[in-house]
Structure 1
Amino acid sequence: MTARHLIVHGRVQGVFYRDWTVETARDHGLAGWVRNLPDGTVEAHLEGDGEAITRMIAAMHDGPPRAAPTRIEQRSAEPQGLGGFTRR
């Protein structure tokens, strides 16, 4: 199992980015969570198959139709053994 911690920059709040992330992560079979941060970014924790995480991050560069992500900071993280993907 692999885990990644992400900070997504750009127009990602108020455009259903978190809801889209939950749905898309579940479609990829990933566990984790996503939440808005006070500075306008979105923070996410993904865990699961490494290839699925890579595909998910690639999709997150586009996001839902009204979003405009500009960059994604990412780093390795410790898997938390989460079941499912939630919005915080």
Structure 2
Amino acid sequence: MKRFEIEVVGHVQGVGFRSFVEQESLNWDVTGTVKNMDNGNVLIYVQGEESQIQSFLSNIKKGNQFSKVEHVATKEKTIINDELRFRTIY
């Protein structure tokens, strides 16, 4: 089990990117959060098995049909034991 902080840079706000991320979390059975940042980037925390996270991250880097992901920065974080689902923070 691993947890990562992921900052996504590019045209990722106002294009359904958070919904896309939440759907990908269901596809790969990972938990965490996604939220827009004031600087125009999107911040994701994701937790799960490393292979699932890598697949999730691979799709996030591609983005949805309306977004343009320019850069993705990841940092490993401490696991949250009682996290049960993935959610969007508004």
Q: 2:88 matched to 1:84?
A: no
**TM-score normalised by length of structure 1:** 0.97
The secondary structure found in structure 1 opposite 2:72 is strand
Runs of 4+ in 1 over 6 A off after TM superposition: none
In the TM superposition, what is the alpha-carbon distance from 1:26 to its structure 2 partner? 1.2
Paired position in structure 1 for 2:33: 33
| Unaligned segments of structure 1, at least 5 residues | none
Q: 2:58 matched to 1:21?
A: no
- Superposed, 1:3-18 pairs within 5 Å as 3-18=3-18
Identity of aligned residues (%): 19
In the TM superposition, what is the alpha-carbon distance from 1:66 to its structure 2 partner? 0.3
In the TM superposition, what is the alpha-carbon distance from 1:62 to its structure 2 partner? 1.0
In the TM superposition, what is the alpha-carbon distance from 1:14 to its structure 2 partner? 0.4
Q: What's the Cα RMSD here? A: 0.6
**TM-score normalised by length of structure 2:** 0.95
Whole-angstrom CA distance in 1 between matches of 2:33 and 2:26: 11
Report the count of equivalent residues: 88
Paired position in structure 1 for 2:45: 45
In the TM superposition, what is the alpha-carbon distance from 1:74 to its structure 2 partner? 0.3
